[in-house]
Amino acid sequence: MELDEECKGCLYGSQMKKVEGTQTDEAKLAEFKSRVKALCENPPPHYCAPILMRDINGLHREIFGTDIDYTREKSLFNRALLAMEERLFAEIMRSPDPIAEALKFAMAANYIDFARMSDLDEGAVDYIISAARKANPDEKTVQCFKEKLRAVNSLCVLHDNCGEIVLDKILIRVIKRLYLDIKVTSVVRGKPIINDVTAYDAEEVGLYNFAEVLDNGTDVAGTYLKEVRPEVLKLLKTSDVVLSKGLGNLETLYGEGYKIFYAFNCKCKHISKRFNAPLFSATFVKE
C-alpha cells in the first residue's frame, strides 16, 4: 500500500514525541526534527509507512548514533501479557469456539503500536482485554480460516509487535492443541525497529516452544518483499495458510498477489475506510 497522508503526520508526530522525551542535545534534536519533517513531507515515490519508519530510524542512528530505543516498552508489554498467558489460554480453550476467541485477542493486541501511539502504558493491556471480548470479526472469514486449518499441514504466521506476540503465541498454542499435525513457522523482524518483534523477543516470550522462528532479515516494520530473505518468500508461496498480523505487514503485502489472512487493529482512518471497518476495531480479512 502506498503511503497515505495520514501516515506521514502520524509517524512524524509519534516519533518526535518519543525522541524529544529521550534526547537532550538541542542542536541534534533540531536537526533530527528538520530532516524527519522534510522526509515525511516529500518521501520517495511508492513508499509505504513501514519503509518511512525505517528511514526515520536511520536518521536517528545517523544523528544520535543509536536506533530509536523501544527496549523498555517492548519488555514492559511482553512481561505484562506473559503474566496473563495461562489464564487467558485456559479461558479461550473453555470457550465454544477457541480459534475464533483466540483470534479476537490476537487482533485486539495489535493496538500495541508505538509507530502510531508513542505514549502507551500498561493501561493499554486492560483496553486490549476489553476490546477482545467485544470484538466481532467477520464470521465468514473466521469460518474459512478454520476450514483451512482442518485440511492443511503448514501455517506461516507473520508477526508484528511485542506484547501482541504473547497473544499470537496463545493463538498458535490453541491451533496446535486442536490440530496436532500442523507445523507452524513464525516470521519476525531481522533487526530492531520500533516495538516490532525480533528473534530475541520471540525467545523472551517462549515462542520457540510452539513454532519454528525465522527472522526476515530486514529492519523494515513489515514484510518488504524486495528485501526479505529467500526463505520468507518461499514460505509465502508454499505454506498452506499464511496469517499476517498488524498494519506493517498489511501495508507491505496487501495487493502483492498472495492469498493471506490479515488480522489487525484498524488504527488508521484510511485503513478503516479501505476495509469498511470501525476505527480501532479488530479486523480480519482474506485477500
Examine the pLDDT at 268 and tell me if it is beyond 90.
Answer: no
Summarize pLDDT for 227-264 with one digit per residue, the tens.
999 999 999 999 999 999 999 999 999 999 999 999 99
Q: What is the mean pLDDT of the chain?
A: 92
**97, 98, 182, 200, 261 from 240: Cα distances, Å:** 22, 21, 10, 27, 11
Can you name the residues that pair with 263 across neighbouring β-strands? 245, 284
Instruction: Write down the pLDDT at residue 134.
Output: 85
Report the range of poorest mean pLDDT among 58-62, 109-113, 193-197.
109-113
The owner of cell 493491556 is: 125
Local confidence band at 179 (pLDDT 50, 70, 90 cut-offs): very high
User: Other CB atoms closer than 10 Å to residue 62's CB: what's the count?
Assistant: 11
- CA-nearest of 54, 15, 12 to 219 is 54
Query: How many Cβ atoms are within 10 Å of 152's Cβ, its own excluded?
Result: 15
Cell of residue 117, nine digits: 501511539
Cα separation, 141 vs 209, in Å, equals 28
Confidence of residue 280 (pLDDT cuts 50, 70, 90): confident
Pairing of strands 212-215, 154-158: unpaired
Residues 253, 227 contacting (CB under 8 angstroms):
no
Whether residue 185 has pLDDT greater than 70: yes
**pLDDT, tens digit (0-9, with 9 covering 90-100), for 124-152:** 888 888 888 888 889 999 999 999 999 99
pTM of the full structure: 0.93
For residue 248, what is the enclosing H or E element?
A: helix 246-253
pLDDT, tens digit, 9 for 90 and up, residues 22-52:
899 999 999 999 999 999 888 888 889 999 9
**pLDDT of the residue at 229:** 97
Query: Quick one: angle between helices 98-108 and 164-178, nearest 10?
Result: 170
- Residue 44 gets which letter from DSSP? P
Q: What is the pLDDT of residues 95-131, one digit of tens each?
A: 999 999 999 999 988 878 766 666 677 778 888 888 8
Q: Do 191 and 222 meet the contact criterion of CB atoms below 8 Å apart?
A: no
Phi-psi region of 37 (alpha: psi -120 to 50; beta: other; left: phi over 0): alpha
Each residue's pLDDT tens digit, 68-103: 999 988 998 899 999 999 999 999 999 999 999 999
